[in-house]
């Protein structure tokens, strides 16, 4: 019995320490700090890939814009300005979306149109010569960097949005309502998919076309969730008809 008592005490101490570590690891502030570190890593990697991809396209666009002009001539020099002009606009949009996605503030159609236009312009200028020459290898080679930039530009916005959702989910799952101060108790609980769908269903009228943008406008949901909500509501509308 005397040998078992110290062991039981050690186990009890280990269990208490494990519970304490687990409690702090799941604490909303600790989770938020971990997510912020991951967010910083994601941003650095995505920005590095985007900038390297755009740097690759700059030389291709310069060659396309120079159109055989003599080395060092005015047309040859000014051709270097074309791709940076497009890239600076794209980078400005992505930098703004870096902030808006962090706080789940959704941008309008003009912002997405400008982003897609700049990406499409970069792609066309990079691949035009290869298409004209009928070179499949050239098309593939010059398509990869712009497409990586395009995918990264779209993916990084959704990733930031989901990282913010992760912080909110951690807070919702670990906060004890009874321990909150009075003002915090009055805050609305985290909404589920069914809650968003019910709100969108209530706002829908027969003259409304169900799109992710419309769903975001009437419910305030995230961009990633709006596509699922729009699909579910559109299915309901079709079945009702």
Q: Three-state DSSP class for 106?
A: coil
pLDDT in tens, 145-177: 888 888 887 787 778 777 777 777 766 665 543
Average pLDDT, the chain: 80
pLDDT in tens, 183-217: 444 444 557 788 888 898 899 888 888 998 898 88
The two structure tokens encoding residue 21: 């570590």
Residue with tokens 């593939």: 140
Q: Return the exposure string of 149-169: e unless at least 16 CB atoms fall within 10 Å of the residue's CB, then b.
A: bbebbbebbebbbbbbbbbee
Sorted by where each begins, the domain ranges of the chain are: 4-175, 191-240
Yes or no: say if 58 and 83 are a contact pair by the CB < 8 Å rule.
yes
Residue with tokens 């004209």: 132
Per-residue model confidence (pLDDT) at position 186: 42
Q: How confident is the model at residue 5 (pLDDT cuts 50, 70, 90)?
A: low
Yes or no: say if 139 and 127 are a contact pair by the CB < 8 Å rule.
yes
pLDDT (average), residues 10-18:
74
Per-residue model confidence (pLDDT) at position 103: 74
Q: How confident is the model at residue 57 (pLDDT cuts 50, 70, 90)?
A: confident
pTM higher than the cut 0.85: no
Per-residue model confidence (pLDDT) at position 132: 86
Angle, helices 136-174/82-102, rounded to nearest 10 degrees:
20
């Amino acid at each position: 019995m005397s040998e078992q008592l110290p062991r039981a005490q050690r186990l009890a101490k280990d269990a208490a320490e494990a519970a304490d570590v687990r409690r702090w690891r799941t604490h909303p502030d600790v989770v938020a700090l971990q997510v912020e570190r991951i967010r910083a890593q994601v941003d650095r990697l995505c920005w590095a890939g985007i900038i390297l991809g755009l740097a690759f396209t700059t030389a291709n666009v310069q060659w396309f814009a120079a159109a055989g002009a003599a080395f060092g001539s005015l047309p040859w020099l000014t051709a270097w300005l074309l791709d940076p002009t497009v890239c600076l606009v794209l980078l400005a949009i992505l930098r703004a979306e870096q902030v808006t996605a962090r706080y789940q503030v959704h941008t309008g159609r003009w912002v997405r149109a400008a982003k897609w236009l700049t990406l499409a312009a970069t792609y066309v200028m990079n691949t035009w010569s290869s298409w004209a020459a009928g070179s499949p290898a050239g098309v593939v080679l010059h398509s990869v960097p712009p497409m990586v930039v395009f995918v990264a530009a779209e993916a990084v916005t959704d990733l930031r949005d989901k990282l913010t959702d992760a912080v909110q989910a951690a807070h919702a799952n670990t906060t004890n309502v009874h321990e909150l101060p009075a003002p915090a108790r009055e805050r609305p609980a985290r909404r589920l998919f069914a809650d968003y769908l019910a709100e969108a269903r209530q706002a829908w009228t027969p003259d409304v076309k169900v799109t992710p943008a419309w769903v975001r406008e009437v419910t305030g949901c995230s961009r990633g969730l709006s596509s699922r909500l729009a699909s579910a509501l559109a299915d309901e509308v079709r079945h009702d008809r």
